[in-house]
Structure 1
Amino acid sequence: MGTWDVGPFDNDTAADFCGDLDEAAPNERKGIVHDALARVIGTAGYLEAPESEEAVVAAALVAAQCPGGEPADPVYGPDEPLPDLTGLRDLALQALDRVTTEPSELMDLWAESEGDPWRATIDRLRSTLLPQPSGEELRSR
Structure 2
Amino acid sequence: MESWGTGSFDNDAATAFVREVLEDGPAALEEALEVALDPDLPELEAEEGARAVAAAEIVSVQLSGDLASVTDAGLRAWLGELEDDELSELRDLALEALERVLGPGSELPELWEDSVDAAEWREGVQRLRQELAS
Q: Same fold (TM over 0.5)?
A: yes
Give the CA deviation at 1:78.
Answer: 2.1
> 2:63: which partner in 1?
66
1:104 to 106, 115, 123: 106
Aligned residues: 127
Give the CA deviation at 1:88.
Answer: 0.7
> 1:87: which partner in 2?
89
Percentage of pairs with the same residue:
38
Distance across 2 between alignment mates of 1:118 and 1:77:
25
**What RMSD over aligned residues (CA atoms) do the two structures have, in Å?**
2.1
- What are the residue-to-residue correspondences of 1:105-124 with 2, within 5 Å? 105-114=107-116, 115-124=118-127
Greater shift in the superposed pair: 64-73 or 45-54 = 64-73
Instruction: Report the structure, 1 or 2, having the larger helix content.
Output: 2
Give the CA deviation at 1:75.
Answer: 2.9
Residues 106-139 of structure 1 show CA distances to partners (whole Å, capped at 9, x for unaligned) of 1100112141000010011001100x3xxxxxxx
Q: Tell me the amino acid that sits aligned with residue 115 of structure 2.
A: S
Q: TM-score, normalised by structure 1?
A: 0.80
Distance across 2 between alignment mates of 1:86 and 1:118:
25
Distance across 2 between alignment mates of 1:128 and 1:51:
21
Distance across 2 between alignment mates of 1:18 and 1:104:
22
Q: TM-score, normalised by structure 2?
A: 0.84
Distance across 1 between alignment mates of 2:47 and 2:27:
18
Instruction: For structure 1, list consecutive stretches of 5 or more residues without a partner in the other structure.
Output: 133-141
> 1:127: which partner in 2?
130
Instruction: For structure 2, list consecutive stretches of 5 or more residues without a partner in the other structure.
Output: none
Distance across 2 between alignment mates of 1:4 and 1:77:
21
Distance across 2 between alignment mates of 1:42 and 1:4:
25
Greater shift in the superposed pair: 54-63 or 75-84 = 75-84
Structure number with larger C-alpha Rg: 1
Please state whether the residue corresponding to 1:81 is helix, strand or coil. helix
Give the CA deviation at 1:77.
Answer: 6.7
> 2:14: which partner in 1?
14
